[in-house]
Structure 1
Amino acid sequence: MGKRVIQVERLSKKFKDQVALKEISFSVHEGEIFGFLGPSGSGKTTTIKILTGQLAQSSGHAFVLDQAVEQINESIYEQIGIVTDNSGLYDRLTVYHNLTAFARLSNVETSRIEVLLKRVGLFEHRNKIAKNLSKGMKQRLILSRAMLHQPKVLFLDEPTSGLDPVTMEAIHALLVELKENGTAIFLTTHNMEEATKLCDRVALLNDGLIVEHDSPKALTLKYNQDKRYRILLKNEKEVLLPHTYDSIQKINEWLTADELLTIHSCEPNLEKVFLEVTGRELI
């Protein structure tokens, strides 16, 4: 792993009588997509607000780029990007002028705007007024603004919620590219398929507690208690076999006779893991 850019140690947050976070601990490294997963109300957005200096923790410690979150100042915002459901645009400005306004604030060369708009598929829409954009276009513009100054850490709170599959795929490709260039991405989502596809590691959050923490693959294998294989034969017959010696022998026979088309292990997906660990569904 690369350098650690986020460190959280026994972080808690209380709102009057409600406990939103309960002594959570984790770290995120450069060049990593870290998924912070859980249902609505589990504490995901609260965590982002604390890590970005928008909300004070009740106890514990957190550091972003080696700076304690309670001491975050303007200089840190030159190195991080934030996309939340509160991220707004200048509705009366064009796509291009939305980004030029932010470029001036961030001391970014305006030449980067054209490059970024082409990358997110908004260049041909650069002269459109922001309020006339579709939801997907607005989300790509908000992401573009968050990435304009090439942040070391990017906080994304449900960035693809409600988007169509084509737009979602484009955003996923962009996030992978950012990761490969060394950006650390802190991604909150309740979309477990998205997390499985994108994330190097995930933390499963339930009622303010981290109940599991590992790579998506490691978690699905850990909770694969009933090992089975789903077989599709050339005669289009589907067979579900338990993990036994007899099943292995049968699979070898089909392979030798060239009768086997596909074979899949049946480990649970992340959503099923979350359900098993917490007893509740993602809603």
Structure 2
Amino acid sequence: VDNIKYNYGDIQAVKGITFTVKEGEIFGFLGPNGAGKSTTINMLTGQLYPKKGRITVLGLDITKKSGEVQAQIGICFERTNLYEQMSAIENLKLFADLYGVKKFDADDLLITVDLKGRGKDRVSSFSKGMKQRLMVARSLINKPKILFLDEPTEGLDPTSADNIRNVILKERQRGATVFLTTHDMLEADKLSDRVAFIDDGEIIALDTPYNLKQKYGKRSIKAQITTEIGEIEDREISMDNENTAGEVHTLFDKEKVVTIHSKEASLEDIFIQITGRGLTG
């Protein structure tokens, strides 16, 4: 991705971003709603063309070879776009026909996303989580080289979200590259090899979660102690001070410690530190 820009009228949605995604990695593209994530993924998949800049996907210019690219990728949108009056298997077969895939195992795909035995049921009878899992299954029909997932676990219950995370990891094991857009920093931290922060149409940081935490994060030791009157109070000691060991020794020497653990900055903490605002701000 080389210096791409996109605007809706006078609104600059994407302001000249540049990055490279490595083959076989899970790349987290993170930012709050309205930051430019969905516009970017639409350009990467050939649904929008950049006003300026160049995008190469699988060695092909997306603006000139979008059909060839789309035949080798899978896409799962943030919003459900299934045929509600058709069954799960009918939805999968329809998209297999569109992709020109003649041989695929619909039942196996449904098992992959924990929808075993629901293939003949109408999609209109599915819960939101079931529909989202079916959309993920649909994105896998052509065994894509790149899987684009736009907020794949948004609004899902923990079980459905965990199932989709497991599918993402299995796809990476298969050799697929995964481009994951989300504003769920915890999910991105668990899954991503590298992450990019996008805010107001610009990439403001790009690195591994570990390196971002080392660069921007603050490490600390958090403890709970019991006071003389039996109340629980919190204590926090920075791990980056010269006298950290002495402060920990004093804590145990003078206080009754109930619990103690280390704490590192989360990706959300780092995003707030860099931008000065949270993911919903």
Q: What range is the shorter-chain TM-score in?
A: 0.7 to 0.9
* Structure 1 pair 114–275 and aligned structure 2 pair: CA distance change class (3 A): same
Q: Deviations over 1:200-227 (max 9, x none)?
A: 11111111010111111211221124x4
Aligned to 1:48: 41
Distance 2:79 2:237 in 1: 49
Using the TM superposition, give the Cα deviation of residue 232 of structure 1 relative to its aligned residue in structure 2, in angstroms.
Answer: 6.1
Aligned to 2:245: 248
Aligned to 1:190: 183
Distance 2:156 2:113 in 1: 14
Q: Deviations over 1:113-170 (max 9, x none)?
A: 1211111111211111011111111111111000111100111111111100110001
* Structure 1 pair 181–252 and aligned structure 2 pair: CA distance change class (3 A): farther
* Structure 1 pair 94–110 and aligned structure 2 pair: CA distance change class (3 A): farther
SS in structure 2 opposite 1:11?
strand
Distance 2:270 2:243 in 1: 28
Q: Deviations over 1:72-99 (max 9, x none)?
A: 3322222101111355112221111111
Distance 1:266 1:80 in 2: 39
TM-score, normalised via structure 1 length:
0.87
Aligned to 1:152: 145
SS in structure 2 opposite 1:70?
coil
Matched, 1:279 2:271: no
Aligned residue among 72, 78, 87 for 1:79: 72
Matched, 1:26 2:19: yes
SS in structure 2 opposite 1:53?
coil
The one-letter code of the counterpart of 1:50 is M
Matched, 1:169 2:165: no
Residue 46 of structure 2 contacts residue 70 of structure 2 at CA under 8 Å; is this kept in 1?
no
Residue 48 of structure 1 contacts residue 155 of structure 1 at CA under 8 Å; is this kept in 2?
yes
Aligned residue among 205, 225, 234 for 2:198: 205
Cα RMSD of the aligned pairs, angstroms, is: 2.4
Aligned to 1:216: 209
SS in structure 2 opposite 1:212?
strand
Aligned to 1:230: 222
Matched, 1:12 2:12: no
SS in structure 2 opposite 1:29?
coil
Distance 2:127 2:238 in 1: 49
The one-letter code of the counterpart of 2:237 is L
Residue 204 of structure 1 contacts residue 213 of structure 1 at CA under 8 Å; is this kept in 2?
yes
* Structure 1 pair 279–146 and aligned structure 2 pair: CA distance change class (3 A): same
Distance 1:211 1:250 in 2: 36
Q: Which runs of 5+ in 2 are unaligned?
A: none
SS in structure 2 opposite 1:76?
helix
Distance 1:237 1:50 in 2: 51
Aligned to 2:50: 57
Distance 1:246 1:165 in 2: 41
Using the TM superposition, give the Cα deviation of residue 270 of structure 1 relative to its aligned residue in structure 2, in angstroms.
Answer: 1.0
Residue 223 of structure 1 contacts residue 267 of structure 1 at CA under 8 Å; is this kept in 2?
no
Aligned to 1:108: 101
Distance 1:117 1:269 in 2: 34
Matched, 1:134 2:127: yes
Percent same amino acid among aligned pairs? 39
TM-score, normalised via structure 2 length:
0.88
